[in-house]
Structure 1
Amino acid sequence: MARTVVDINDELLAEAAQILGTKSKVATVNGALEELIKLRKRETFAEWLKSGGLPDLTGPVDEPRPDGDSHRAA
């Protein structure tokens, strides 16, 4: 892990530590970075779904077949 010196707003760091439940500055900064990355990935995935990703899972549902299988026939 690289060692980096940065100026961090003490109030924001304390609030982030409280939200994340972390005790050290390193854990707080790393936790905040991880949460930001996860958030962006969730947002990107949601946008992908909205734009038509996984059409077989997000499109209309067909009526169940007589054998009870509701999957679409290929």
Structure 2
Amino acid sequence: MTRISVDINDEWLEAAREVLGTDTKVATINEALRSFAVRRKAADILEAFDSVQMDYSGSKDAWRESGGRDLSAFAEEARRDRVA
């Protein structure tokens, strides 16, 4: 872990703490940096998906019930549970 001394805008730090739900300045800064690293990783993954040509022809037939799952049994069960 790197230890640095840096001046930080107090208003931005407090706003970030509120959004991130962190308790300390160190936790806020670390969480903010972690979230940007995760975003970067997600962008790289999306870029990789975009670089591959996908063929979805015929995928509708692979799922039965007009291209989707029949969830009516789950809906009926949820209704019964709600009444009970």
Summarize deviations over 1:9-51 as a string: whole Å, max 9, x none. Answer: 1111111100000110000000000000000111111111111
Higher helix share: 2
Gapped regions of structure 1 (runs ≥ 5): 65-74
Higher relative contact order (CA 8 A, sep 6+): 1
Q: Distance in 1 between matches of 2:50 and 2:5?
A: 40
Percentage of identical aligned residues = 40
Give the structure-2-normalised TM-score.
Answer: 0.63
Q: Structure 1 length normalisation: TM-score?
A: 0.70
Tell me how large the CA RMSD over aligned residues is. 1.6
For structure 2, the 5+ residue unaligned runs are 63-84
**Bigger Cα Rg:** 2
- Residues paired across the two proteins, number: 60
Q: Structure 1 runs of 4+ off > 2 angstroms? A: 61-64
